[in-house]
Chain A
């Protein structure tokens, strides 16, 4: 049991000891140790990306009552079409790389590269299991958002360098959306950091450890403020990773493919990959902040290794994102921005206040009622105001009438 729990760490130290016994100097070993960690993390997330690219189509197909990809296999063995990512990869690599003649070539080339860097860098601070944090940072949460800011630059570069009006419009929409939704996202993260008293992801996971009455996990999502903040974080994460119903920047009915219009072949694949890895990273942060990280949901389930719990939870959150995509239609741009500023932002303030009251009222039953009221009343007021406003008002276009 304990062996399986520590298997990844033991395997690495066994390998390094083996090399050390052959006389490899200590300095090289410490570099090699870092390389192994980086390689494993990137490998796992690339595997998840490949799996996700086929599972997303399968789940969407299931939701739409059809089969989805099920042909690609290995000679006779179809394996439910699980080899689809291989076929996709070959297609993407062999496709012609088109660059518009009037584009800004250097920036056009650099945009997918710049997009990939933050997506990979943010993976460094997630606690994947007990004692399994690639980079133990005091300000890990801050690092996540600081590095993530690079994505906006990449999107702008892609949109502007393509020299295409749809690209620029798509990039501007994407940046407006990212900036708007970053505020509720960060506010929700701050709430979790505030209650656990630390910006370090491992400390936040540790603060959610243990069980009340021996079987109820102490995850933040199981408190009124934590549930609200977790939901806000989830919605903002959907928008941050440009996923449906917030995938307007790439809304094909109005903007062709937004900032990706002029990209093809491997560059397009790089964007695609960066977006999915970014999505997994933000799911991982959601799991770390509110869903108890690598902690098991019930005491007797702790026999399953912690890293299995982490990736299981991440896959579950990713599955719900696909589910949302299959269910909800795309929003309109003004509705989407209004939703961020007029609903998510006040609600995140309410959740903030509620968390503070929960803490100072002693975290008992009274604190529960108080924080529930502080979250619930603004939700009712804002919710009714919001639905009334958008149910009645009819948008008149300034220049079309």
Chain B
């Protein structure tokens, strides 16, 4: 067994690494996401969440979706993680040590029940959706140029709508923040 493993490894290590490479970030992703839920210290939880964002990006890249992986890193690590961290920093510091939860009164059993219901609902939707019955498409590497063509061609209205929405949100945030100007 070990000998076979070594032989496969030395014959073509790049291919071997490529096949097994996806498992490592996936494992990191699960562990980091779990830690983000369990951690008492909010900043540590946020940092674990950031790690899970990074791991998710690497999973995308390992699966051949380069563009999605890079965008995941750029948007989630560069922007969303920073927003979360700042939101934590700007709230009152004594809350950092207390556990904050909307379901604190329910206790761990209540939390588990809520989680189970959400999971069951999600699984139900996933398995009954028409997408689940479709056969898996053959994995095709989508060149960035094709993605760009699709975004600027077929989906251009959606892209512009999202752009307008985000701009409106940005302007709104600026207006709210400007309130206490002298």
Contacts and interface: CB of A to CB of B under 8 A. Distances in A.
Contacts of B12: 26-27, 30
A156 B82 contact: yes
A84 B158 CA distance: 57
Interface residues of B, number: 32
A345 B74 CA distance: 19
Instruction: Tell me the dominant secondary structure on chain A's binding face.
Output: helix
B47 A182 contact: no
B151 interface: no
Interface stretch (A135-143, A212-220, A300-308): A135-143
Nearest to B85: A156
A146 B144 contact: no
Contacts, number: 86
A147 B82 contact: no
Interface string A187-227: 00000000000110000000000000000000000000000
B82 A142 contact: no
B78 A149 contact: yes
Nearest to A117: B54
Interface string A168-184: 10001001000100100
A386 to B, nearest CB: 19
A168 B90 CA distance: 11
A393 to B, nearest CB: 12
Interface stretch (B24-32, B63-71, B106-114, B129-137): B63-71
Interface of B: 9-14, 43-44, 47, 50, 54, 57, 66-67, 69-74, 77-79, 81-82, 85-86, 89, 143-145, 182
30 contacts: A25-B10, A25-B11, A26-B11, A27-B14, A28-B13, A104-B43, A107-B43, A137-B66, A138-B143, A138-B145, A139-B144, A146-B57, A146-B70, A146-B73, A146-B74, A146-B77, A149-B73, A149-B74, A150-B54, A150-B73, A152-B77, A153-B82, A156-B82, A160-B43, A160-B85, A160-B89, A175-B86, A179-B78, A198-B145, A398-B182
Interface of A: 25-28, 30-31, 104, 107, 137-139, 142-143, 145-150, 152-153, 156-157, 160, 168, 172, 175, 179, 182, 198-199, 396, 398
